[in-house]
């Protein structure tokens, strides 16, 4: 039983001889066996793969048409007791019209036949010489010599539980409104395209882009198979381009111009697509605009669970793995953060910002954003009032980095030691200084926030918050302490991404002195430094020892919020992604910690200050995330 709703699909390009049907069928069978050996549940072949696409006027030969139908029967017989949905291309003569069709076969039967909607008849294509458009064929039935009452039309949806397949043929994808757009609205989440797309300079790039974009627009998986090099080269060359896409991402692509049977496979995440469709209300609204109803053809796979799981699961879903893309993303995020802060300054008429600097990652990023903003507004950097506030746990390392960074960036740097104020407060509330509990910690956090708020009032400045998305998810902030600010620039940047943003500035936009400080900050353990340092002056309070690794929590957050994944699926994916880093017990422990903290700390997120959304997730109560503060976590947590 496939509770995760993963399925492996395949695109194939067999070696063919033009009009040599028996030869072509044998290679089709070989490709099917290859896909079966890889546990694929769908295989999509090229357009007219039984006859070859470049038969020309031979398509008008009755003998070719009859033998292609016999070949379909042969493939049906071959498919008996084979747990794979097969889609092959062949002509169909119906009511004196010849159609270019996709035959959908499963376990000995033709489940349905889908005609090509649009017939190209321009530049190098002359298909209307032989074939008829199928865009008006809706909800018909036909009979073949070996099977009666086969559904025939462009509105067929082939369903096996959560897996719903729709098919279109070649040119259909290149039209203004591809039939697959309607198929998606009718429920199809996996689209197959049987194609014969010839090669021209740069055409493959465009082909790849439209497969990617159509899978994104239709929020589906798109399995594309095109004719190969053994088609006629009288005037054209074909390359056998195979592509598998999923919601805008190309999961798998072959090397073109291969001279043997080609099969590529990839695992599709149906739950991910389902969630995206649920979230996208425009998709839901578009369903009502579909001009026809589906004909749903039900069948049952024996088992869809992939025998081996080789789908790539990114450990850091918020961080692009490609270095160039990561640099571009970092630059864009900085621009969004700075634009948000600049607008707030313009709106309020404030020209100064106040920011608390600890020598840690988050305050460093907020400082860098403030510098970029004031540079953009052509305001002096001295308008940044950067304040470091040493306390009981402040180490020389973080203090020195904070001082160096603020001075090198030419800010108005100030130091206010909070020790005496906190000791007085302990005395006022009757709290023993030797008890290092949550009161001991929160007194310091609130004292720092009070100083920052009051200085912002005194200087006529705007207090910039420093907390990041990961801390908000875990509630790792003192309520009405560092939880609060006048504008929070990091509020939708997860901790794993904060590191890369700071690294980007260190590598690309810094003097050697600033770069050295930033790199040392990157190497410093994450800590609020609220507990006394050890006898060697080192940090004793390491955040990740207390709440768990941020890379795990960011992973959990992404799949919990962005994909609404079940706890079982999140744990499955985490164990797959981090199998070289953490054992299963450790992953389960920190997942329970994440869930409990996420639910119990919602009250802090319900009172967040304003701040810009920069990525796919925001926990703002005014935007993406609206959750009652007293919701129970028991349904999501194994260790209650």
Q: CB-based contacts of 584: which residues, under 8 Å, 6+ apart?
A: 575
Residue 209 in marked binding region: no
Residue 357 in marked binding region: yes
Residue 359 in marked binding region: yes
Q: Is 191 in a helix, a strand, or coil?
A: strand
Backbone torsions φ then ψ of 46, nearest 5 degrees? -70, 170
Write the DSSP symbol of residue 526.
Answer: P
Adjacent-strand bridge partners of 168? 193
Q: With left for phi above 0 and alpha for psi between -120 and 50, is residue 430 left, alpha or beta?
A: left
Residue 358 in marked binding region: yes
Residues in the chain: 640
Residue 356 in marked binding region: yes
Residue 515 in marked binding region: no
Contact 52, 45 (CB under 8 A): no
Please, where are the H alpha helices in 466-583? 469-474, 495-508, 512-523, 543-546, 550-557, 567-577
Contact 491, 467 (CB under 8 A): yes
Residue 282 in marked binding region: no
Residue 471 in marked binding region: yes
Q: Which of 13, 31, 47, 569 is catalytic?
A: 47
Which tokens sit at 306? 């992939």
Q: Which H helix or E strand runs over 375?
A: helix 361-376
Residue 260 in marked binding region: no
Active site residue 47: yes
Residue 321 in marked binding region: no
Contact 389, 529 (CB under 8 A): no
Residue 439 in marked binding region: no
Residue 537 in marked binding region: no
Residue 239 in marked binding region: no
Active site residue 332: no
| CA distances to 117, 256, 540 from 237, in Å | 24, 11, 67
Residue 479 in marked binding region: yes
Other CB atoms within 10 A of residue 57 CB: 8
Q: How many H helices and E strands in the chain?
A: 19, 20
Residue 49 in marked binding region: no
Residue 134 in marked binding region: no
Residue 175 in marked binding region: no
Which tokens sit at 550? 């941020």
Q: Which of 170, 406, 422, 491 is catalytic?
A: 170
Measured between alpha carbons, how far is 484 from 481 in angstroms, rounded to an integer? Answer: 6
Residue 477 in marked binding region: yes
Active site residue 325: no
Which tokens sit at 150? 């086969």
Which tokens sit at 420? 């005496």
Residue 501 in marked binding region: no
Q: Which of 41, 116, 272, 593 is catalytic?
A: 116
Active site residues: 47, 116, 170
As annotated, the binding site for L-glutamine includes 122, 197, 203
Residue ranges of the annotated binding site for deamido-NAD(+) are 442, 471, 476-479, 604
Cite the annotated binding site for ATP by residue number: 356-363, 466
The binding site consists of 122, 197, 203, 356-363, 442, 466, 471, 476-479, 604
């Amino acid at each position: 039983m496939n509770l995760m709703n993963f399925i492996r699909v395949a695109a194939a390009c067999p070696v063919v001889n033009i009009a040599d049907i028996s030869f072509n069928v044998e290679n089709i069978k070989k490709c099917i066996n290859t896909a079966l050996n890889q546990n694929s549940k769908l295989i999509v072949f090229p357009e007219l793969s039984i006859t070859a696409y470049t038969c020309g006027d031979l398509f008008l030969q009755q003998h070719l048409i009859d033998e292609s139908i016999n070949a379909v029967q042969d493939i049906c017989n071959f498919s008996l007791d084979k747990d794979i949905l097969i889609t092959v291309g062949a002509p169909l003569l119906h009511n004196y019209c010849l159609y270019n069709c996709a035959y959908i076969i499963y376990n000995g039967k033709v489940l349905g036949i889908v005609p090509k909607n649009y017939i190209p008849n321009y530049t190098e294509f002359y298909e209307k010489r032989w074939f008829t458009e199928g865009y008006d064929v809706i909800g018909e039935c036909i009979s073949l010599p070996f099977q009666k009452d086969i559904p025939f039309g462009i509105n067929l949806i082939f369903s096996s539980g959560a897996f719903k397949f729709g098919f279109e043929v070649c040119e259909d994808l290149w039209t203004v409104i591809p039939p697959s757009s309607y198929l998606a609205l009718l429920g199809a989440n996996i689209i197959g395209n049987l194609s014969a797309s010839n090669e021209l300079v740069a055409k493959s790039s465009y082909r790849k882009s439209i497969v990617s974009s159509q899978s994104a627009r239709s929020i589906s998986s798109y399995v594309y198979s095109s004719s190969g090099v053994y088609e006629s080269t009288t005037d054209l060359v074909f390359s056998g381009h195979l592509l598998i896409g999923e919601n805008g991402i190309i999961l798998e692509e072959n090397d073109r111009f291969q001279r043997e049977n080609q099969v590529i496979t990839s695992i599709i995440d149906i739950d991910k697509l389902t969630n995206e469709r649920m979230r996208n209300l425009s998709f839901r609204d578009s369903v009502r605009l579909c001009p026809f109803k589906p004909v749903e053809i039900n069948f049952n796979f024996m088992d869809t669970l992939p025998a081996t799981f080789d789908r790539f699961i990114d450990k850091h879903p918020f961080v692009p793995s490609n270095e160039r893309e990561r640099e571009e993303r970092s630059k864009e995020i900085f621009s969004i953060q700075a634009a948000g802060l600049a607008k707030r300054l313009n709106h309020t008429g404030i020209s100064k910002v106040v920011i608390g600097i600890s020598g840690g990652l988050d305050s460093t990023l907020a400082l860098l954003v403030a510098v970029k903003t004031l540079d953009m507004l052509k305001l002096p950097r001295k308008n940044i009032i950067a304040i470091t506030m040493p306390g009981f746990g402040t180490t020389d390392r973080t203090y020195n980095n904070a001082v160096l960074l603020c001075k090198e960036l030419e800010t108005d740097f100030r130091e206010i030691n909070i020790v005496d104020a906190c000791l007085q407060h302990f005395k006022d509330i009757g709290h023993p200084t030797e008890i290092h509990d949550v009161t001991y910690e929160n007194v310091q956090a609130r004292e720092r926030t009070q100083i920052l708020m009051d200085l912002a009032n005194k200087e006529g400045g705007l207090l910039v918050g420093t907390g990041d998305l990961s801390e908000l998810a875990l509630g790792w902030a003192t309520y009405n302490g560092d939880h609060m600010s006048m504008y929070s620039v990091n509020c939708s940047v997860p901790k794993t991404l904060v590191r890369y943003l700071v690294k980007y500035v260190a590598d690309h936009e810094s003097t050697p002195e600033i770069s050295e400080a930033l790199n040392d900050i990157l190497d410093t353990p994450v800590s609020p430094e609220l507990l006394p340092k050890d006898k060697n002056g080192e940090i004793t309070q390491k955040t990740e020892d207390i709440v768990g690794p941020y890379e795990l929590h960011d992973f959990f957050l992404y799949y919990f919020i962005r994909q609404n994944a079940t706890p079982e699926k999140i744990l499955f994916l985490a164990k797959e992604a981090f199998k070289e880093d953490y054992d299963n017990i450790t992953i389960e422990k920190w997942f329970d910690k994440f869930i409990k903290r996420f639910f119990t700390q919602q009250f802090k997120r319900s009172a967040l200050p304003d701040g810009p959304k920069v990525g796919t997730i925001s926990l703002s109560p005014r935007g993406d995330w609206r959750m009652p503060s007293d919701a129970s976590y028991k349904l999501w947590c194994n260790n209650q």
